[in-house]
Amino acid sequence: MARKRLGALVSGSGSNLQAVLDACAAGKINGEIAVVVSSKKDAYALTRAEQFGVPGFWVDKDKFPTADSYNLEILRILREYRVDLVVMAGYMRLLGEEVLEAFPQAVINLHPALLPSFPGGNAIEEALDYGVRLTGVTVHFADAAYDTGPIILQEFVPVHQYDTLDVLAARIHKVEHTLLPRAISLWADNRLRIEGRRVYIRSKQ
């Protein structure tokens, strides 16, 4: 089976990007990161990409008159690098339909909570403030809304009574770094099937 070409969308430090880069290098994913696109100029994720010899681009939303034109520029880059799967690895913007429609069932997002609980950009803090005893990590197919697409994998993370935000975030990130590569590997091996809101995982051949 041909190795899949992955396009990573990022906004921050890129620790999840690093996990995927490492998994690809170790042969745990039948694929490779072909390009990295950042919504922020100073995202350390771009440095991580450079260290692996992966092309990286900052797309400045302020240079585009509309959200549509901004998303079309992202799509242009993804197509230029012949991407098969788009991985939102800490991408802190809503991805436009221009990209979603160009990659049907081929855009994966990572979220630091057990969806549908605590969607949005402050999931870890909200879970801690709410007082839940369990939170977790979700990898799902992206759609046109925030954190509502069909769920691929989930793993719970305990919340201890004296956790601070930083302590809980570190525990969640550790799970993210294994769950995201695992979901990408399932997609790259053609083991995922979507029916309605349910994602079925085929047995390994």
pLDDT tens for residues 163-180? 999 999 999 999 999 999
What is the DSSP secondary-structure string of the chain? -PPEEEEEEE-S--HHHHHHHHHHHTTSSSEEEEEEEESSTT-HHHHHHHHTT--EEE--GGGSSSHHHHHHHHHHHHHHTT-SEEEESS--SPPPHHHHHHSTT-EEEEESS-TTSS-STTHHHHHHHHT-SEEEEEEEE--SSTT-SPEEEEEEEE--TT--HHHHHHHHHHHHHHHHHHHHHHHHTT-EEEETTEEEEPPP-
Q: What is the mean pLDDT of residues 82-108?
A: 94
Annotated catalytic residue 111:
yes
Domain 4-195, second-level architecture:
3-Layer(aba) Sandwich (3.40)
CB 99 within 8 A of CB 78: yes
Q: pLDDT class for 205, splitting at 50, 70, 90?
A: low
Q: What angle do CA 16, 153, 54 make, to 5 degrees?
A: 30
Q: Compute the distance between CA of residue 97 and CA of residue 74 in angstroms, rounded to an integer.
A: 12
Active-site choice (111, 140, 173, 177): 111
Give percent of the chain with pLDDT exceeding 90.
92
Amino acid in the structure at residue 67: A
Alpha-carbon separation of residue 96 from 3, 38, 43, 77 (angstroms) = 26, 15, 21, 14
Q: pLDDT class for 92, splitting at 50, 70, 90?
A: confident
* For residue 44, pLDDT beyond 90: yes
pLDDT value of residue 145: 86
Q: What is the pTM of this model?
A: 0.94
Q: What is the mean pLDDT of residues 139-143?
A: 96
Q: What is the mean pLDDT of residues 75-93?
A: 95
* For residue 108, pLDDT beyond 70: yes
Q: Per-domain residue ranges for the chain?
A: 4-195
> What is the chain's mean pLDDT, rounded?
95
Q: pLDDT class for 146, splitting at 50, 70, 90?
A: confident
Q: pLDDT class for 94, splitting at 50, 70, 90?
A: confident
Q: Which residue has the higher pLDDT, 204 or 188?
A: 188
pLDDT value of residue 162: 96
Q: What angle do CA 42, 43, 45 make, to 5 degrees?
A: 140
Give percent of the chain with pLDDT exceeding 70.
100
pLDDT value of residue 127: 97
